Structure 1
Amino acid sequence: MFVPTVWLGILGATIASTTLDTDPAKMVSAVFGGPVSILVLLMVLHGPIATNILNVYSATLAALSAGLKFSRFWLTVIVGVAGYLVTLYFIFAPSFAKAFDNWMISLLLWMSPWAGVVLADYFIKRKGKIDVAELYRSPETSAYGDINWAGMVAFFAGLVAGWLVEDGLVGALQGPISINLLGGADLSWLFGIGIAGLVYLGLSKLVTSPSSVVASSAGS
């Protein structure tokens, strides 16, 4: 995955420096011309395919780990179609930059509290000690159980906190605190991580779950 990604980046930067056209196909044709441009486009096509194989594969594994009762084949089809629709959205969007910025901000909004919960759980609550064998047991018998409700509550708390101080390009992603009190500053990543982590640690102190005991004994 690394080689085709780097190769595409170098090729794109080189071609963009030699032509003012914004259409990738026209840019390649203008630089290489004739039959060679067809070969280059085929090589460019191989890059995204090789890169997204891992993305589709990991997405199906994540869906299966979430308990979705689908075959891996159909999950792959669903993920592929979803990715194709997102690509079409970017292609036909009036402004690619704005559409891409909205997409990245939406990812940052939920990834920040998720990271806050994960980091607080692993490094602070469990001190880096995990019983790996328990992770592969069924939820009914595993000491870690099924759903970590403290983590879910903390995640949504961080999600709300991040939204309050977010400044996106669309109204739905513009938090009132960021717009009215911070002059448009976007601190969603900081508040999302911090609030989610603190809420999770606070809730974890209220209830001592069996998973905490197992995690502690795993490193002893």
Structure 2
Amino acid sequence: MEKVYEEKVLEVEPFGIEPIPKQERHGRARQLFTLWFASNLNVVTWFTGFLGIEFGLSLKYAVLAIIIGNLLGGVLLALASAVGPQLGRPLIPGSRRAFGKVGVVGLSFLNLVNNIGWLAVNLVLAVMAFRKIVPSLGYHPALLILTVATMLIAVYGYNFIHTFAHWMSIVIGALFLAMTVISVSNLPHLLSGAESAAGGVDWGMFILAVAVAFSYQISYCPIGSDYSRYLPESTPRVKAWLATYLGCVTVCIWLEILGALTATLGMHAGPMDFFARLMGVFTVPALIAVILSIMPINAMAVYSGGLAALAMGIPMKRWVAALVTAGIGALLISFGGGHLAETYKNFLLLLSYWIAPWLGVVLCDIFFNRQPEAERNGSGWPGIVSFICGVVISIPFMSSVLYTGPIARNYLGGADISYFLSMTVTALLYLIIIKAKNAVKKETLTARAPVGAAGME
């Protein structure tokens, strides 16, 4: 078969959610480092670091929560990315054996909502930064300009996104490094303030801070293989895992700790007003860095949202699906507003309520279900039942603005451990069902075997 895409950057990607042909496979595992480094090298990651301080934690415990949450969550994101070369397609459509056709459609819808939500959160911050630079620019013109720029990157697709992320990891990395130096130099009282903080720690809020950092990482898991599916099938999983893990964890820990440091100043204004006050005479270059840094993750949200729409069975071209995703995201925030910190915290936690149990099933199916079961066969009831049970069991442990379970409220001090519970329960239940199903299948085949054949065995 003739090669039509290969490593061409300025050509619209012709493939969607179908398995990538072997002759089109290209790239190396190391490019996953720059992709995930650049995608998290933005003000959204920095802002995530604020939340531990917002919860009332001291700087020491806020930093500890950031480190723990990212180290744990990064393991799962790296696993979702590492299976891409062998799978050759997006992870949710590739989990059809576990969830069946109906299950994939439902999960793809949730993934579409996930990506539109990320796009909306990112666009809000980018628009704020843009209008800080150009105060005369209206909200909607700024939103339109940034949305169109995001669309152009996503329309070209996989190769363009990887190339763009590579260069942004260098440019934005240098800018954020300068911002780190400037920020720390503007916080001379930090160490003395941290040392003078007395008393214990609210473990409920500490666990909640870990939950936020963990949720930030696993929220990318449904799109993990979107950006590794073109790699050659022979790519070692260990190399893909390590490149992804180092890329996402190092930058998140760095910027979130920086966010926690700067949050100790207090934030009585909007995030961009606070940012401008912090950066002083370097405000304009820093705001430009903010806008540029948000472009890679916005492009990924639009691109993966388009793939999710295709996985739902919506008949359209990949690039058209990307445009529709960007349009919906921009429309949702066209009226702006909201309490950003609280909304963002609950958005991250709500994402984990379906992603965690889904991960429990899909990773167990990939790594532990060795049966040569055809992908298109079966209704996917083991995965669906396990998923639903995991979510239901975790409900009493949930803690969000929409609902707080009795166990989280009365015994955990507001901490949210539902994602850990749902993932564990779902994985164990799925493995039990699959083991029982395979045992029944084996007994049935043995019973149907001819007597002579059974005797020969």
Alignment of 1:124-139 (within 5 A): 124-126=368-370
Find 2:299's aligned residue among 53, 76, 99: 53
Give 2:360's aligned residue: 116
CA distance in 2, matches of 1:59, 1:121: 24
Residues 145-194 of structure 1, C-alpha deviations (whole Å, 9 max, x = no match): 165221112112111222221122x1x33122322344434221221111
Alignment of 1:137-148 (within 5 A): 143-145=374-376, 147-148=379-380
CA distance in 2, matches of 1:162, 1:100: 21
Give 1:163's aligned residue: 395
CA distance in 2, matches of 1:32, 1:151: 52
Find 2:282's aligned residue among 32, 35, 39: 32
**Which deviates more from structure 2 when the two are superposed, residues 69-78 or residues 111-120?**
69-78
Using CA pairs below 8 Å that are at least 6 residues apart, which structure has the higher relative contact order? 2
Offset at residue 197 of structure 1 (A): 1.0
Q: Are residues 208 and 86 of structure 1, via their aligned partners in 2, closer, same or farther at CA, if it must alter by over 3 Å?
A: farther
Residues 23-80 of structure 1, C-alpha deviations (whole Å, 9 max, x = no match): 53771884237xxx3x664454233223322332222223323422233233212321
Structure 1, unpaired ranges of 5+: 132-141, 210-220
Alignment of 1:173-192 (within 5 A): 173-192=403-422
8 Å Cα contact 2:394/2:421 also seen in 1: yes
SS where residue 414 of structure 2 aligns?
Answer: coil
Identity between Structure 1 and Structure 2 (%): 29
Report the AA paired with residue 184 of structure 1: G
Q: Are residues 109 and 47 of structure 1, via their aligned partners in 2, closer, same or farther at CA, if it must alter by over 3 Å?
A: same
Q: Are residues 5 and 145 of structure 1, via their aligned partners in 2, closer, same or farther at CA, if it must alter by over 3 Å?
A: farther
Q: Are residues 161 and 14 of structure 1, via their aligned partners in 2, closer, same or farther at CA, if it must alter by over 3 Å?
A: farther
Q: Are residues 61 and 196 of structure 1, via their aligned partners in 2, closer, same or farther at CA, if it must alter by over 3 Å?
A: same
Structure 2, unpaired ranges of 5+: 1-34, 39-168, 188-264, 440-457
TM-score by length of 2: 0.35
8 Å Cα contact 1:56/1:80 also seen in 2: yes
8 Å Cα contact 2:172/2:292 also seen in 1: no
* Coordinate RMSD, CA, aligned: 3.6
Report the AA paired with residue 24 of structure 1: M
8 Å Cα contact 2:361/2:426 also seen in 1: yes
CA distance in 2, matches of 1:15, 1:116: 42
CA distance in 1, matches of 2:363, 2:306: 24
CA distance in 2, matches of 1:6, 1:152: 42
Give the number of aligned pairs.
189
Q: Are residues 5 and 143 of structure 1, via their aligned partners in 2, closer, same or farther at CA, if it must alter by over 3 Å?
A: farther
**Which deviates more from structure 2 when the two are superposed, residues 69-78 or residues 159-168?**
69-78
